[in-house]
Amino acid sequence: MNEIHSARIGIIGGSGFQRLLGLTDSRAHHCATAFGAPSSPVITGYLCGVPVAFLQRHGPGHTIPPAAINAKANIAALRSVGCTQILSMSAVGSLSEDVPPGHFVLIDQFIDRTLMRDKTFFGPGLVGHVPFGDPVCGRMRETLADSAATMGVPAQNGGTYVVMEGPQFSTRAESRLYRQWGGTVIGMTAMPEAKLAREAELCYALVAIPTDYDCWLESQQPVNAALVAERMAEIGDSARKLVEDAVQKMNRHAGGCRCGCDRALDTAIMTAPEQRDPAMLARLLTVAPNAGRLINQ
């Protein structure tokens, strides 16, 4: 058996999912970060004996719309309580008849259609370009696939998440276009979350939970907010079983990530050492503390 990992596993999801998880020895942390306030307090505790941290993406009571989520602060807050892996749970619409509501998708690719969001910890004074060809940690995704098989949870291993701006749902024309592009599911929240996790050198995986067929399949009811909430309540038990098994296996991930998630900044920083903005560098180190190895490179 692999050595047990001592770091926490971060879980990002909705407020209803926190109740389903039923963490023990839970404690709320009101995290102050260099990037502002996160969406919610971070709840640390134990899930099946594994140290985890939970964050509500849309805030308590679902008060934050997708484009207003402070994803930079969310990632920084999870890092601040010791997370090295992040498991994201996301309600989505299905773009494929092969992925009906309730059939999970373990995402391996994204198409980012968002326009209004702050997507990087870098900027003027500290320029960086992280590799993102494989945007999800392969080790985490394989573990999720194994857990889905173990728990009898229907899940497709691999799929493309089209991230739209929102908050409105798609038109039928848009939904059909995204199907032509090869999209598997569509949602509003995976970006810039996944990009920022990579810049923070965190392992990141996303479980997409289809609740509907968006609006392309005219024989089905078009998506609406009430339908999403109803379907998530129905699917919740399967999501809980998957996460409970997966975190126990992820807790045994030891050593460096074979995908290089924990070394994403090795080839990223372009700005010459003498030209780097000290304040920006200090903020980056709060969310990617191992980047200190690059200061004089």
> Residues annotated as binding site?
15, 57-58, 90-91, 188-189, 212-214
The annotation places the binding site for phosphate at 15, 57-58, 90-91, 189
DSSP state letters, 199-225: HTT-EEEEEEEEEE-TTT-TTSPPP-H
Catalytic hit among 214, 262, 266, 277: 214
The annotation places the binding site for substrate at 188, 212-214
Catalytic hit among 212, 237, 262, 266: 212
Buried b (16+ CB within 10 A) or exposed e, 148-173: beebebebbbebbbbbbebeebbeee
Residue 134: active-site member: no
Residue 262: active-site member: no
Closest CA to 95 of 153, 194, 170, 45: 170
Helices H / strands E in the chain, number of each: 7, 11
Residues 29, 43: Cα–Cα separation, whole Å: 6
Residues 32, 40: Cα–Cα separation, whole Å: 11
Q: How far is CA 61 from the centre of its chain?
A: 20
Q: Annotated catalytic sites, by residue?
A: 212, 214
